[in-house]
């Protein structure tokens, strides 16, 4: 598994991360808030979930953290003076004050060491504080990854992708529940949820999101050809079988 913190095309990400809007909503729907809490958005990206938190916390505070400088610059558009936004690797995150809740959408599968990640998230929470998160889970876009993997193994791409490993870790529900308990959480509940996505612009979606790590390794003059070849190999309709891993837990004493 490669490094997960990478440079993002932020403008493109904001345009094409349409499913992320629904994913963020589904997380907030299962996090009861009074409006005066302090909530960490772990891996805020351009701020889709962060904006919803800001709206839900009129007298509270949002702490938006991401490993990418470009993402944190962009999240400045949605945070208020009372909120905080800063760059930090979540596996090294330490907050000066523990928060009431931690949210995270479409982030945890970018991080290989879930034991360490969950320990950091637990340490960020007050006792009794809630974790409400979602990320890619076991089986996520398996069909697409298999087809794009076949294209990547062809010439002229294969020689540039020798030793390439996808940077994603798609964990299962039971193993995640066990890791959360081990990290100091109780009332743990995790489950997988199939979620079909039909991206409005498949080429841009692949370029910025699901094939971005491959393109990081390929020379620029092969990018369009690689994307066209994968598009053709996937065929019509371009429909992606996402599997979301939902995580709910309470920080134990």
∠ CA 42-33-132, nearest 5°, is: 35
Q: Does residue number 90 form part of the binding site for ligand SAM (CB under 6 A)?
A: yes
Residue 103 in contact with ligand SAM, rule: CB under 6 A: no
- CA-closest candidate to residue 127, choices 52, 187, 170, 209: 187
Binding string, 36-55, against ligand SAM, x = CB under 6 A?
-------xxxx-xx------
Instruction: Establish if 89 lies at the interface with ligand SAM (CB under 6 A).
Output: yes
Binding mask 12-31 for ligand SAM (x = CB under 6 A): -----x--x---x-------
31, 64, 79, 110: residue in contact with ligand SAM (rule CB under 6 A): 110
Q: Which of 111, 151, 227, 251 binds ligand SAM (CB under 6 A)?
A: 111
Q: Is 134 in the site for ligand SAM (CB under 6 A)?
A: no
Binding-site ranges for ligand SAM (CB under 6 A): 4-5, 17, 20, 24, 43-46, 48-49, 66-68, 71, 89-91, 105-107, 110-111
């Amino acid at each position: 598994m490669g490094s997960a913190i990478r440079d993002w095309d932020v403008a493109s990400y904001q345009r094409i991360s349409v499913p992320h809007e629904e994913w963020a909503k589904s997380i907030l729907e299962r996090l009861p808030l009074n409006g005066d809490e302090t909530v960490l958005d772990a891996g805020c990206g351009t701020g889709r979930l962060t904006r919803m938190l800001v709206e839900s916390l009129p007298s509270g505070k949002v702490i938006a953290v991401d490993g990418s400088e470009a993402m944190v610059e962009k999240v400045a558009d949605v945070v208020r003076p009372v909120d905080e936004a800063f760059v930090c690797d979540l596996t090294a995150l330490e907050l000066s004050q523990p928060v009431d809740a931690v949210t995270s959408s479409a982030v945890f599968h970018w991080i290989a060491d879930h034991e360490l990640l969950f320990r950091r998230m637990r340490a960020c929470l007050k006792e009794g504080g809630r974790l409400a998160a979602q990320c890619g889970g076991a089986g996520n876009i398996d069909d697409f990854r298999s087809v794009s993997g076949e294209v990547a193994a062809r010439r002229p791409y294969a020689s540039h992708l020798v030793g390439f490993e996808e940077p994603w870790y798609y964990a299962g529900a039971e193993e995640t529940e066990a890791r959360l308990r081990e990290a100091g959480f109780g009332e743990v509940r995790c489950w997988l949820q199939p979620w079909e996505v039909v991206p409005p612009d498949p080429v841009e979606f692949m370029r910025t999101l699901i094939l971005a790590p491959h393109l990081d390794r390929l020379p620029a003059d092969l990018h369009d050809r690689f994307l066209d070849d994968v598009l053709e190999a996937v065929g019509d309709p371009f429909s992606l079988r996402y599997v979301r891993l939902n995580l709910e837990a309470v920080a134990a004493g």
